[in-house]
Copies of this chain bind each other. A is one copy, B any other.
Amino acid sequence: MTPKDTDRRSEILDAAAELFAHKGVASTTVREIGESVGIYAGAIYHYFPSKDAIVRELITGYLETLNAEYAAKAPRRLAPRARLRAVVEVSLRTADEKPHATQVYQDQLRNVRDLPEYRRAKALADEVQRIWLETIEDGKAAGVFRADISSKVFHRFLRDAIWLSIKWRHSGDPYTTEELVQDCIAIFLDGFAVRRARRTRPPAPPR
């Protein structure tokens, strides 16, 4: 039976991602990964040098595609609001297509970001953040985003809301990614309050 040959590797990667996402990296054993692919644990070490190498490849791969997508779909030439929308859309779509890797990334990066083996992952994560902040700052400079709220705070709120959406979206959901993007932009840019008159602080006091 050799319908898939070099596929074993990615089969292991997928199975590991699912298990890691579902019950955490630390409490997933190499034996479980093997079991869910239908091989013994020892065979896994034919494809990967260690359990941690699997985790690392998952995280790095995820961040690479994310960055590539940002570059392709959210170039700087877009107007800030459109670019932010594109960034949000790419983030949500990637989370939707690779939910397991996304989750592993969130759960793990904080614990390992200072380890030398993860230097590349950290660099990629920094680049992701750079793009977000650049988009927000450009929008402020253009006068379309509020200058009275810290870019970092806004970035973190928005990023966390997006990243965590994978935890509550389940596959059989009729709520599409497109709708989610729509609602996300609606809430974060225009607010959840019904618009009657000006309600709170005046926009962008000069300072």
Contact = CB atoms under 8 A, between A and B. Distances in A.
A125 B150 CA distance: 31
Contact of A150 (B149, B153, B183, B194): B183
A180 B153 contact: yes
A164 interface: yes
A180 B154 CA distance: 10
A24 B198 CA distance: 45
A195 interface: yes
Interface in A129-155: 143-146, 148-150, 153-154
A25 to B, nearest CB: 9
A118 to B, nearest CB: 15
Interface string A193-206: 11100111101100
A170 interface: no
Contacts of A204: 194
Contacts of A199: 189-190
B192 A188 contact: yes
Interface in A146-172: 146, 148-150, 153-154, 156-158, 160-161, 164-165, 167-168
Contact of A194 (B145, B184, B200): B145
Contacts of A175: 150, 153
Given A156-B168, A168-B156, A195-B198, A187 B149 contact: yes
A144 B191 CA distance: 11
Given A24-B26, A154-B183, 11 more contacts: A146-B192, A148-B186, A149-B192, A160-B160, A160-B161, A161-B161, A164-B164, A190-B200, A191-B191, A195-B198, A195-B203
